[in-house]
Amino acid sequence: MTAHTISTKPIDGQKAGTSGLRKQTRVFMTPHFLENYVQSILNGIGGAKGKAFVVGGDGRYFNDQAIQVILRMAAANGASEVIVGQNGILSTPAASNLIRIRKTDGGFILSASHNPGGIDADFGLKYNMSNGGPATETVTQAIFEQTTSLTEYQILDAQDVDLSTLGETMLGDMKVTVIDPVADYAKMMGELFDFEAIRALFLSGFRMAFDAMHAVTGPYATTILEGVLGAPKGTVLNGIPSPDFGGGHPDPNPIWAHELMGIMTGHDAPDFGAASDGDGDRNMIVGRGAYVTPSDSLAVIAAHAHLAPGYRNGLSGVARSMPTSGAVDRVAKAKGIPCYETPTGWKFFGTLLDAGKANLCGEESAGTGSDHIREKDGLWAVLMWLNIIATSGHSVAALMDSHWRTYGRNYYSRHDYEAVDSAAAHGLMDHLRAQLASLRGHHVAGLTVTEADEFAYRDPVDDSYTEAQGIRVMFTGGARVVFRLSGTGTQGATIRVYLERVETDPNLLGLKPEDALSDVIAAAQELAQITTRTGRDAPDVIT
């Protein structure tokens, strides 16, 4: 086996977005594209010599081939060991956990999360650091700089490593350890949650449907829910991962998880429904006829986390991304714990979790998690809800009802305009930005603007500063609209419009979100001239 140095040239567009580098699969498959990016990562982190890494992905098309390239390049760059999930499979939370418990220097996670998979869909690669979390802004920037000046990469000339058999092999001078992707993760969940109580719940006849959406959570959910916790066989739906996620869109929200929504609103619906995304870090929670928004889920978990053994001592603080609703803020206030507001993307929670300033965090985009790892964690959220239901004895609907009565209800909705012409999308944001200074006191669609700004964040732990993280307009009475451009799309631009209004009148807690938010929706349209500027008269996706 010989290590080769291959000459290359920088490739445009290798700039990571909200969560690593995401591109169309065919782009990732073009000559040198993957190799350039992997070498840029290795250079950006100060080289691979003597380092150990975790590698695994969500099993989407090109996962297996890309892993072999990463292994050969890690070996040629002098890495000492790579730990790989069997058949190249690792959910994002399981990878984060492995980096932490095996104390590796970092890890490569291959996934485009909830984006569809396949040769004509999307692929992605993300580097996580030794704390198990996504590369910080500083490291991300160092990697990007490498991509713009790279002249060569190192790769070993070798056969593919057999990733189907557990155990250790050598690739040149580097050890490759193939491990069971589920075991360590399942063990950790057993330490955090009251598995006895959840087992008793299933024994009592409690019924659940978990939609793995043909994605990576299938094996994890089957082992934990049906195996360890004794839920009946068939509880996990679409549990076998496939390279194109069964042709679906593995994003756990009422739009893409419509099969599960149909079950949960149908006659004889189970007590509890849940779903996870392509790489297993997102979650959807739904009771019988009762969908729980991710922002509300975060708030309910904040209110009840002490029921789970791993959180018995309460929370040190909570954190949410800026566009996430303020529901969790109200719980934090009542409990007298801090609540941090960060830019979108899990990478901004890492410093807070490492410093112990917060041990629960979440995003409106179906991401919830804690300091057990440094990624959001889909199954963790599902098990937390099961723990809360089992120990409180309340249904999802009852928990939501009492939550809103106690804290008020943050009506919330996100409108996405996808694959919009990039210039039009940036024009819309520029137009909003230009109005910011003069908006205060203005009346828009019957609402009065109290404040308007572009969100910027100074990290309270490492003092790093991040600008241009979304435009927010606040109105009297606690209503708010936020506009931002997605950082994970691979085609054109996606405009996200986040709408919110707080209601504390006990008689008005049961409205449909789109009705409760109608004036905020009208204000957003008027402020941003969405239809005129994008040519769209309705959002593509409402969640």
Q: Which chain residues interact with Zn ion by CB under 5 A?
A: 113, 277, 279, 281-282
488 binds, among Zn ion, ligand G1P, none (CB under 5 to 8 A by kind): ligand G1P
Question: Least distance from C-beta 483 to ligand G1P, angstroms?
Answer: 12
Q: Which partner, ligand G1P, Zn ion, none, binds residue 496 by CB below 5 to 8 Å per kind?
A: ligand G1P
Q: Which helix (H) or strand (E) segment is 177 a member of?
A: strand 174-179
Q: Which is nearer to ligand G1P, 369 or 408 (CB)?
A: 369
| Residue 346 vs 385, nearer CB to ligand G1P | 346
Nearest to 170 by CA among 242, 103, 82, 252: 82
Shortest Å, Cβ 19 to ligand G1P: 4
Residues at the interface with ligand G1P (CB under 6 A): 18-19, 113, 321, 344-346, 363, 365, 367, 486-488, 496
Q: How far apart are CA 436 and CA 482, in angstroms?
A: 12
Q: Name every residue whose Cβ is closer than 8 Å to that of residue 398 and which is 6 or more positions away in sequence.
A: none
Of the pair 16, 389, the CB lying nearest ligand G1P is at: 16
486 binds, among ligand G1P, Zn ion, none (CB under 5 to 8 A by kind): ligand G1P
- When the beta carbons of 180 and 418 are compared against ligand G1P, the nearer one is 418
Sign of the Cα torsion 59, 264, 364, 439 reads positive
Q: What angle do CA 415, 518, 538 make, to 5 degrees?
A: 40
277 binds, among ligand G1P, Zn ion, none (CB under 5 to 8 A by kind): Zn ion
Q: How far is the CB of 72 from ligand G1P (least distance, A)?
A: 28
- Nearer to ligand G1P by Cβ, of 414 and 533: the residue is 414
Helix (H, G, I), strand (E, B) or coil at 407: helix
- Provide, rounded to whole angstroms, the least separation between the CB of residue 192 and Zn ion: 20
d(CA 525, CA 519): 10
User: Directed axis angle between helix 422-435 and helix 518-528, to 10°?
Assistant: 100
| Neighbour tally for 119: CB within 10 Å | 13
The 3-state secondary structure of 212-233, one letter per residue:
CCCCCHHHHHHHHHHHHCCCCC
Based on the residue annotation, tell me whether 113 is a catalytic residue of this protein. Answer: yes
**Of 18 and 136, CB closest to ligand G1P:** 18
DSSP H helical ranges for 480-539: 513-516, 518-528, 530-534
Which secondary-structure segment (H or E) carries 497?
A: strand 493-503
CA angle, 440 then 446 then 447, to 5°: 40
* From 113, 365, 413, 486, active-site residue: 113
391 binds, among Zn ion, ligand G1P, none (CB under 5 to 8 A by kind): none
Could you tell me the smallest distance in angstroms from the CB atom of residue 402 to ligand G1P?
28
Q: Is residue 181 packed enough to be buried (19+ CB in 10 Å), middle (13-18) or exposed (0-12)?
A: buried
Residue 486 beta carbon to ligand G1P: minimum distance, rounded to whole angstroms: 3
What distance in Å separates the CA atoms of residue 129 and residue 104, rounded to the nearest whole number?
A: 9
The tokens describing 488, both together, are 């994970």
Strand order from edge to edge, sheet including 236-237: 236-237, 208-211, 272-276, 283-287, 290-292
Asked if 122 and 116 touch (Cβ cutoff 8 Å), the reply is: yes
Among Zn ion, ligand G1P, none, residue 105 binds (CB under 5-8 Å by kind): none
Closest distance to ligand G1P from the beta carbon of 279 (Å): 9
Q: What is the nearest approach in angstroms of ligand G1P to the Cβ of residue 346?
A: 5
* Residue (216 or 521) nearer to Zn ion, CB: 216
Distance, CA of 61 to CA of 405 (rounded, Å): 46
**Of residues 16 and 236, the one with the C-beta less far from ligand G1P:** 16
Cβ within 8 Å of residue 271, ≥6 positions away: 206, 207, 208, 287, 288, 389, 395, 396
Residue 279 touches which member of Zn ion, ligand G1P, none, C-beta under 5-8 Å by kind: Zn ion
Distance (Å, rounded) from C-alpha 439 to C-alpha 451? Answer: 7
What one-character-per-residue DSSP string does 424-493 give?
HHHHHHHHHHHHGGG-TT-EETTEEEEEEEE--EE-TTT--EE----EEEEETTTEEEEEEE-SS-SSSE
| Residues with active-site annotation | 113
